[in-house]
């Protein structure tokens, strides 16, 4: 089998000799597998995520050199490092998601410098993860070598294992379909499964996972089909001209004209309806909004907000359909483009109105994760409308739209990871002016980071309970300060137990700070 090109390490200004060209990449995968296992086996997320991300980043910079990395790769690696640090600082789920997402994207950009969009980089990374076992099966030569694996030292292993796996599969099928055959093979299979259980322990499976992850980071595995596919896309919309023999008459503009007229009618109707909706919303929400008497703001927001967001998304889909292909270049489509831009602007105004709905809801009922999620999702939708405006105005392609919006998603995700949302939400709600409408139950569902804040503000929480008890409609379960304190103590003791049994790989600045703050409050009891 022909070997892959010998790796070079521009960071050290060196190229590996032929004798090391094959074994050094394998060694990096092996060492990274060991590092992954050491950091993550039977450990929760903490500083281990930060350290592994730094380890991966250093390798990629050494492997390709800083100048050898594309601009998207540098940007994605920077985002991965930020996200990894936030995992240690905040110990939040969103930080962990952002870290995994950004590192996956960064790895794809590093190995495939021609990639430009997150839209293709993420599938490229996932493809590498799926194909990594196949790359190992081929002797770690990767999949870019189109030669067959005949003659590989792994051949004997493949010859034995494939028939064995297929045989076990059909054995199970025959056992399920024939009771007597099931009885005949029962003893044999029990011994076989006992043997497998002794060898394939949970730790072995974890090591295999670690090897796959390490291979994806350390080596270019997946074929370039996705990156090659992306390279065919451009930001500028291209006119598709049909070639016709010279002796035929020019193609009729009839289909485009009919499409233009249908689009005009639709855009006129939609602009007219949306204009009425926007006028009502501007008059209602934008200036001096007050909650009417006997008016359920919660029901109004819950039922209406997502419907309007869906309407905006549908509008985007319709506009993408209308302004596709050659209609963008039709000479008589100018009025249609103006109406399309008007509809985009009106949808943007509608988005602001939806934002104000959620803002007034937060002003009345306080913060919650879903309410923040609505704001974030809405901001991404508004970014989508801005990019759609640019697409229609400048005749940009759908790829241009997808590229900008997936990068917006990447930046948003990394940005969300930088905020300690649990503390932010609890602090906001504790100081909320409308004490009787705060979700007190949610305090106990937050992470352990908010424990010191809750203990310091027990009097505020008690006042919120007392105020909520006066409401005609009560929807909060915890209205007894004694019971609330009892459940808070249970939550705190659970944190103490977890913190006392924590390994250094799981440590986080958030947990250390929580323990420090509780010691300052003289509520900490050291575990033996």
N residues, the chain? 528
440 vs 450: CA distance, rounded Å: 13
359 vs 298: CA distance, rounded Å: 12
317 vs 384: CA distance, rounded Å: 11
DSSP H or E run through 496: helix 481-500
pTM of the model: 0.79
14 vs 9: CA distance, rounded Å: 5
Q: What's the per-residue H, E or C state across 242-271? A: CCCCCCCCCCCCHHHHHHHHHHHHHHHHHH
139 vs 397: CA distance, rounded Å: 41
Q: For residue range 175-190, what is the model confidence (pLDDT) as tens digits?
A: 777 787 877 777 666 6
Q: Which residues, 6 or more positions from 422, have their beta carbon under 8 angstroms from its beta carbon? A: 92, 446, 447, 449, 450
Q: Which residue has the tokens 């989508």?
A: 384
Q: Which residues, 6 or more positions from 462, have their beta carbon under 8 angstroms from its beta carbon? A: 481
Q: pLDDT at position 330, please?
A: 60
Q: pLDDT at position 513, please?
A: 94
- Tokens for 406, please give them: 């997936």
DSSP H or E run through 9: strand 8-9
- 387: closest CA among 403, 368, 363, 372? 403
- Tokens for 70, please give them: 């594309």
Contact 48, 504 (CB under 8 A): no
Calculate the CA 474 to chain-centre distance.
Answer: 36
Q: Which residues, 6 or more positions from 509, have their beta carbon under 8 angstroms from its beta carbon? A: 88, 89, 90, 91
94 vs 372: CA distance, rounded Å: 13
Degrees, nearest 5: CA angle 292-293-294: 115
> What residues in the chain have per-residue pLDDT under 70?
1-23, 134-165, 187-200, 235, 237-256, 291-304, 325-333, 523-528
Q: Which residue has the tokens 């065919």?
A: 232
Centre a 10 Å sphere on the Cβ of residue 433 and count the other Cβ atoms it contains. 8
Return the DSSP state at 333.
G
| CB-count exposure of residue 110 (10 Å: 0-12, 13-18, 19+) | buried
Q: Which residues, 6 or more positions from 274, have their beta carbon under 8 angstroms from its beta carbon? A: 343, 346, 347, 350
269 vs 263: CA distance, rounded Å: 10
Q: pLDDT at position 78, please?
A: 95
**Phi/psi of residue 149, each to 5°?**
-90, 15
List 236's β-bridge partners, or say none: 396
List 15's β-bridge partners, or say none: 8
Q: Report helix, strand or coil for 422.
A: helix
384 vs 348: CA distance, rounded Å: 10
Degrees, nearest 5: CA angle 380-381-383: 65
Contact 79, 106 (CB under 8 A): yes
Q: pLDDT at position 436, please?
A: 83
């Amino acid at each position: 089998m022909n070997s892959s090109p010998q790796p070079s390490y521009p960071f050290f200004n060196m190229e590996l000799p032929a004798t090391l060209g094959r074994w050094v990449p394998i060694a990096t995968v092996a060492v990274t597998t060991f590092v992954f296992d050491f950091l993550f086996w039977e450990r929760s997320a903490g500083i281990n995520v930060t350290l592994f991300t730094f380890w991966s980043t250093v390798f990629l910079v050494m492997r390709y050199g800083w100048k050898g990395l594309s601009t998207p790769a540098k940007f994605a690696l920077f985002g991965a490092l930020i996200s990894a640090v936030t995992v240690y600082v905040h110990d939040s789920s969103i930080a962990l998601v952002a870290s995994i997402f950004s590192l996956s994207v960064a790895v794809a950009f590093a190995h495939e410098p021609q990639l430009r969009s997150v839209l293709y980089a993420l599938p490229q990374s996932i493809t590498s993860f799926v194909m990594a076992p196949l790359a190992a099966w081929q002797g770690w030569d990767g999949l870019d070598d189109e030669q067959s694996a005949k003659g590989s030292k792994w051949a004997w292993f493949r010859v034995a294992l494939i028939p064995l796996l297929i045989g076990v599969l059909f054995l199970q099928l025959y056992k399920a379909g024939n009771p007597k055959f099931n009885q005949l093979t029962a003893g044999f299979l029990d011994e076989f499964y006992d043997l497998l259980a002794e060898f394939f322990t949970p730790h072995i499976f974890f090591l295999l996972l670690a090897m796959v992850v390490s291979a994806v980071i350390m080596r270019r595995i997946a074929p370039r089909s996705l990156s090659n596919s992306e390279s065919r896309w451009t930001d500028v919309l291209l006119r598709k001209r049909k070639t016709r023999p010279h002796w035929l008459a020019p193609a009729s503009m009839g289909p485009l004209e009919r499409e233009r007229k249908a689009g005009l009618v639709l855009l006129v109707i939609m602009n007219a309806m949306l204009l009425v909706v926007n006028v009502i919303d501007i008059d209602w929400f934008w200036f001096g909004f007050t909650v009417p008497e006997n008016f359920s703001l919660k029901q109004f927001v819950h039922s209406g907000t997502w419907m309007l967001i869906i309407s905006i998304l549908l509008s985007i889909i319709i506009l993408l359909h209308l302004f596709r292909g050659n209609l963008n270049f039709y000479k008589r489509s100018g009025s249609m483009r103006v109406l399309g831009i008007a509809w985009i602007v009106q949808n943007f105004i509608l988005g602001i109105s939806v934002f104000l709905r959620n803002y007034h809801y937060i002003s009345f009922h306080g913060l919650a994760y879903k309410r923040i999620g609505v704001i974030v999702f809405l901001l991404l939708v508004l970014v989508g409308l801005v990019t759609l405006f640019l697409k229609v105005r400048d005749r940009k392609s759908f790829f241009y739209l997808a590229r900008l919006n997936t990068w917006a998603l990447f930046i948003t995700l990394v940005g969300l990871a930088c905020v300690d949302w649990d503390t932010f939400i609890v602090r906001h709600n504790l100081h909320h002016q409308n004490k009787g409408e705060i979700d007190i139950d949610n305090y106990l569902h937050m992470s352990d980071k908010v424990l010191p804040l809750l203990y310091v503000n027990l009097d505020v929480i008690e006042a919120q309970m007392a105020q909520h008890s006066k409401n005609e409609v009560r929807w909060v379960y915890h209205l007894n300060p004694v019971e609330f304190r009892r459940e808070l103590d249970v939550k705190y003791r659970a944190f103490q137990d977890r913190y006392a049994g924590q390994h250094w790989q799981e440590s986080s600045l958030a947990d250390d700070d929580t323990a420090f703050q509780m010691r300052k409050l003289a509520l900490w009891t050291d575990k033996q």
